[in-house]
Amino acid sequence: MKRGVPKREAGELWRNAASFAARKHANQLRRDGRTPYFAHVVRVAMTVAEVFGCHDEEALAAALLHDVIEDTTTDYEDILERFGKKVADIVAALTKNMMLPEAAREREYDARIAKADWRVRLVKLADTYDNLLDSVNDPRGDRDISKRIDACRRAIALAQPDAKVRPICRNAIAKTKELLRSHSRRKK
């Protein structure tokens, strides 16, 4: 088994990640029961690139793959073999341990994210950003939106140390806070 990916052309890593994620998330739907799940991972990657301004290929590939271990039969070794150690480590850090009870799972997840590569926290911010935007059209109402707002706030808190040293992270936090403020104004 190879432990890294060969040198690729610019954009090839995230294009391959998009194809892989599309296959793995085929036939999965978002909570609304209508939207293909793949739309979420594409929006997360677009948020990383277009809203947050990060064009790091490993971050974009990981954004596209961020749910494949948690929500499909894919494992760490699959990601490692196809996309290399950096991407596999980012995706693994974004994968919750579903064997733990919910409270312990969330504590362990947050602790892991806090110690991980800065790109993990960036993708997590993009994930919570997209989930909050998505919840506006979710028929389940305010209860879910409140959970999404809390998740955004947790992601911001986890990424705060990165803002001091990484302009991309500072921008991502600012954009996420802006979304929270605009959403709060709409709810009133």
Count of H-run helices and E-run strands, the chain: 10, 0
Of the candidates 12, 58, 67, 71, the residue annotated as catalytic is: 71
Phi, psi of 96 (to 5 degrees): -75, 145
Question: In a 10 Å sphere around its CB, with 0-12 CB exposed, 13-18 middle and 19+ buried, how is residue 105 labelled?
Answer: middle
Is 70 an annotated catalytic residue? yes
Q: Hey, how many other C-beta atoms are within 10 angstroms of the C-beta on 71?
A: 14
Is 71 an annotated catalytic residue? yes
Tokens of 153: 């706030």
Phi, psi of 45 (to 5 degrees): -65, -40
Of the candidates 56, 70, 110, 138, the residue annotated as catalytic is: 70
Q: Among all residues, which ones are annotated catalytic? A: 70-71
